[in-house]
Chain A
Amino acid sequence: MTTLHIEDVSVRYGAGPTAVLAVDQVSLTVPAGGVVGVVGESGSGKSTLARAIVGLAPLHGGRIMWDGAVEPKRWLRRRPSRAQLVFQNPYASLDPRLSVGATIGEAVASRERLARKAQTAEVGELLDLVGLPARYASMLPRDLSGGQRQRVAIARALAARPDVLIADEITSALDVSVQGAILNLLSSLREQLSLGVLFISHNLSVVRYISDRVAVMYLGRVVENAPVEHVVQEPAHPYTRVLLEAVPRLDVPLDPAPPDVDSEPPDPHHPPSGCHFHPRCPMGPRVFAEREICVARDPSDGHPERRHAAMCHFA
């Protein structure tokens, strides 16, 4: 029953005028057995946040805590990280020359040295946990379908007995008919193991289905963080609304508004002043000329509580 707290975490790449703040003072909490979804466009810092939590990206500021205790530096750890990452593409994340059993066994060994028999048994248990028969241990990744490979990648992550599983776009490379099965697996794992899950995806429908809470990221910042019902039914931040309206829905035809001139995320090297979203915001200065505060002032400036709810002057 361990809770992951991320407190004011920042990740910066480069230095000087060309530096990019990929993650900008993000705070999140992933409780045991809870699923926190992270959505945002590409370049919003979702994956960098995931990498920072497991120690693959250096922290520029902030801390990562487990039940209030600060995570030690990576080189001081005796055991693998308590957060384990599963990647988008199981065709790339598994070693094509290692059998399934060896892949998972390697991860078991990184946690604990076991006799060969005990390790084989553990691999069998892990395969069972992700819904694969034990005989799959002798197979190579090329013998498996995409969904099965993703199950193996999940089993490998679980081998380290993590408290939190970080799923970075794990269904995006899979066919839609397989996606559902992987989502079902995640739900059953969180229940069985009271595993916390940080579920990162650009697909809002999937995030809505699986998550209890949703954090919306824009240019490295969390701009809204709320229970999933709130985010979907009464989104507080205009960016969340823009995202929600863009989700294609079979039962709602596209409204006939003309296509926008390429309104795309701004250059992260030179983020807009004030609220990062103001150049695209449908309720900001682009539409309401008197709302100069959006250009002049960062919404969290003087309102630190906005970092945990909705980062908007007018929410």
Chain B
Amino acid sequence: MSFDVAPGERLGIVGESASGKSLTALAIAQLVPYPGQVTAAAIDLAGNDLPRMPKRALTRLLGRSLAMVFQDPATSLNPALRVGRQLTEVAEVHSGLGRRAARERAVAQLARVRLSNPGYRLRQYPVQLSGGMRQRATLAMGLMAEPQLIIADEPTSALDVTVQEQIVRLLRTVSDDTGAAVIFISHDIAVVGQLCERVLVMYAGRIVEDLDVAALRTDPAHPYTRALIGSIPDMTTSRTKQMVTIEGRPPDPAEVGSGCAFAPRCGHATQLCRDMRPDLRPLGTNGRRRAACWFPQHADADNGDLLGASQGAPR
């Protein structure tokens, strides 16, 4: 897959579990666990070619320029260390600040992520914070250096809706203020639509559609994107109709043949789709919109029936 994110841009990546969203994030951060291997023509962060950098320089660069927020804040904070120590360490190691300056910076960053009473929070252990507060603290830790890219992998999935809204607002404010680019990974299309300007839809390890959030709302082109949106109830879904379901289940990435990975579940699939995989090609004339489909859909076609009818085998 290929994509780029501009400074200050917020890019969403959506897809079902095992579609490769998280591995994409880990590949950027050079964190793919053994025995996984990353091959890339280029992974470029602000002019640095990450895979070909010496290990030391890479660690220094990523420590300064990349912030990551994961789904489970309990695992990204060290439970045995006070919050303050975990924050100041970043500034001491990566920015060479002294203890006092690092502490001041930590207080400032905790205030920036709107954690109440920052001086007190510094002395607390992660267990003493609620889930939302831990997520704020993790983000503050990422902001201790000067990140150019913030990768947030399902940062709100373990949180309540009210807290989720606050974290999404916070990410938006932080990227507006610092000019950092954001890659926001989520299975929840509605949340992505609130935060991001652009969305990548992933299926079986590939990007199947790359589109603006506005287009996601009104006119997704790939049948999978349409099916995904149709299968999520929102506050306007008809209560008398059955939910749209997607027949079958996502393929094992190892089992995808030469055709389109979504073809077995797609209501529009033809022999062509089963035989040959469509490339991710530019769609239309305006902007960067791309789709990997032989038969991209339009808003006026098959209205209301996003999948081309499907009520099928149980999953």
CB pair B166–A259 under 8 Å, yes or no, is yes
Inside 8 A of B264's CB, which chain A residues have their CB? Answer: none
Chain A residue with minimal CB distance to B190?
A: A248
Stretch at the interface among B39-47, B227-235, B275-283: B227-235
Complex CA distance for A206 and B315, rounded to whole angstroms = 19
Stretch at the interface among A58-66, A104-112, A145-153, A297-305: A145-153
B187-230, CB under 8 A of A: which get 1 and which 0? 11111011100000000000000000000110000000001110
Q: Give, as a whole number of angstroms, the nearest-CB distance from B107 to chain A.
A: 15
Inside 8 A of A249's CB, which chain B residues have their CB? Answer: 190, 193-194, 234-235
CB pair B315–A264 under 8 Å, yes or no, is no
Q: Give, as a whole number of angstroms, the nearest-CB distance from B241 to chain A.
A: 10
Contact of A251 among B160, B170, B217 (CB under 8 A): B217
Complex CA distance for A254 and B164, rounded to whole angstroms = 12
Complex CA distance for A260 and B169, rounded to whole angstroms = 9
Complex CA distance for A260 and B132, rounded to whole angstroms = 12
Interface residues in A241-274 by Cβ distance below 8 A to B read: 242-251, 253-254, 257-264
Report if A258-B169 is in contact (Cβ < 8 Å); known contacts: A181-B243, A248-B161: yes
A192 within 8 A of B: no
CB pair A262–B136 under 8 Å, yes or no, is yes
Inside 8 A of A205's CB, which chain B residues have their CB? Answer: 232-235, 237
A204 within 8 A of B: yes
A89 within 8 A of B: no
B76 within 8 A of A: no
B78 within 8 A of A: no
Contact of A254 among B16, B163, B169 (CB under 8 A): B169
B61 within 8 A of A: no
Complex CA distance for A208 and B243, rounded to whole angstroms = 13
B153-193, CB under 8 A of A: which get 1 and which 0? 00000001111111011101100000000000001111101
Q: Give, as a whole number of angstroms, the nearest-CB distance from B168 to chain A.
A: 7
A51 within 8 A of B: no
CB pair A183–B173 under 8 Å, yes or no, is no
A183-219, CB under 8 A of B: which get 1 and which 0? 1100100000000000000111110110000000000
Q: Give, as a whole number of angstroms, the nearest-CB distance from A141 to chain B.
A: 15
Inside 8 A of A206's CB, which chain B residues have their CB? Answer: 233
Complex CA distance for A261 and B113, rounded to whole angstroms = 9
CB pair A177–B133 under 8 Å, yes or no, is no
Inside 8 A of A130's CB, which chain B residues have their CB? Answer: 314
CB pair A42–B160 under 8 Å, yes or no, is yes
CB pair A180–B132 under 8 Å, yes or no, is no
Q: Give, as a whole number of angstroms, the nearest-CB distance from B80 to chain A.
A: 24
Interface size class of A (residues with CB under 8 A): 35 or more
A232 within 8 A of B: yes
CB pair B231–A176 under 8 Å, yes or no, is yes
Inside 8 A of B243's CB, which chain A residues have their CB? Answer: 179-181, 183-184, 209
Report if A259-B169 is in contact (Cβ < 8 Å); known contacts: A147-B314, A176-B187, A181-B315: yes
Interface size class of B (residues with CB under 8 A): 35 or more
Inside 8 A of B160's CB, which chain A residues have their CB? Answer: 41-42, 202
B23 within 8 A of A: no
Complex CA distance for A264 and B114, rounded to whole angstroms = 12
Interface residues in B236-262 by Cβ distance below 8 A to A read: 236-237, 239, 242-246, 249
CB pair B231–A209 under 8 Å, yes or no, is no
CB pair A187–B242 under 8 Å, yes or no, is yes
A155-186, CB under 8 A of B: which get 1 and which 0? 00000000000000000000111111101100
CB pair B233–A208 under 8 Å, yes or no, is yes
Q: Give, as a whole number of angstroms, the nearest-CB distance from A20 to chain B.
A: 16
CB pair A145–B235 under 8 Å, yes or no, is no
A131 within 8 A of B: yes
Chain A residue with minimal CB distance to B194?
A: A254
Inside 8 A of B131's CB, which chain A residues have their CB? Answer: 42
B270 within 8 A of A: no
Report if A145-B233 is in contact (Cβ < 8 Å); known contacts: A176-B187, A246-B161: no
CB pair A248–B164 under 8 Å, yes or no, is yes
Inside 8 A of B188's CB, which chain A residues have their CB? Answer: 176, 248
B48 within 8 A of A: no
CB pair B237–A209 under 8 Å, yes or no, is yes
Contact of A177 among B16, B130, B191 (CB under 8 A): B16
Report if A177-B228 is in contact (Cβ < 8 Å); known contacts: A250-B217, A262-B114: yes
Complex CA distance for A247 and B232, rounded to whole angstroms = 13
Inside 8 A of A145's CB, which chain B residues have their CB? Answer: 249, 315
CB pair B161–A204 under 8 Å, yes or no, is yes
CB pair B242–A184 under 8 Å, yes or no, is yes
A102 within 8 A of B: no
A134 within 8 A of B: no
A132 within 8 A of B: yes
Complex CA distance for A180 and B311, rounded to whole angstroms = 11
Interface residues in B103-123 by Cβ distance below 8 A to A read: 114-116
CB pair A250–B189 under 8 Å, yes or no, is yes
Contact of B227 among A177, A179, A245 (CB under 8 A): A177
Inside 8 A of A42's CB, which chain B residues have their CB? Answer: 131, 160
Q: Give, as a whole number of angstroms, the nearest-CB distance from B141 to chain A.
A: 16
Inside 8 A of B164's CB, which chain A residues have their CB? Answer: 246, 248
Query: Beyond the given A176-B232, A178-B249, could you list 18 further A-B residue pairs with CB under 8 A, ordered by the A residue number?
Result: A147-B249, A177-B16, A177-B245, A181-B243, A181-B315, A183-B233, A184-B243, A209-B233, A209-B239, A246-B161, A250-B193, A250-B217, A253-B193, A254-B169, A258-B169, A259-B114, A260-B166, A264-B163
5 A–B contacts from the bound complex (CB under 8 Å): A41-B160, A176-B232, A204-B161, A248-B193, A253-B194
